[in-house]
């Protein structure tokens, strides 16, 4: 199964100092994914994720 969605914002580092900013980012990503994912939550722990970051140069 393949699932793809676009996040229209710059990612936040896991090492970011502001914990609230990381939590806001995680919530934002979850909301963007929910716009595309219409099934029940993924229960399988064997999940592969590929992230591609397109840098505005």
pLDDT of residue 41: 76
Return d(Cα 33, Cα 24) in angstroms, integer: 14
**Would the pTM count as exceeding 0.85?**
no
| The predicted structure's pLDDT at residue 35 | 86
pLDDT score at 57: 61
Q: Please provide the DSSP assignment of 7-43 as one string.
A: --S----TT-S-HHHHHHHHHHHHHHHHHH--SPPP-
d(CA 47, CA 13): 21
pLDDT, residue 27, reads 92
pLDDT in single tens digits along all 57 residues of the chain: 677 888 888 888 888 788 898 899 889 888 888 888 888 877 777 777 777 777 776
């Amino acid at each position: 199964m393949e699932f793809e969605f676009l996040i229209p914002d710059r990612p936040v580092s896991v090492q970011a100092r502001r914990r609230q900013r990381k939590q806001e980012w995680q919530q934002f990503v979850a909301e963007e994914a929910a716009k595309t994912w219409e099934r029940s939550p993924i229960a399988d722990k064997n999940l592969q994720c590929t992230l591609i970051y397109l840098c505005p140069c």
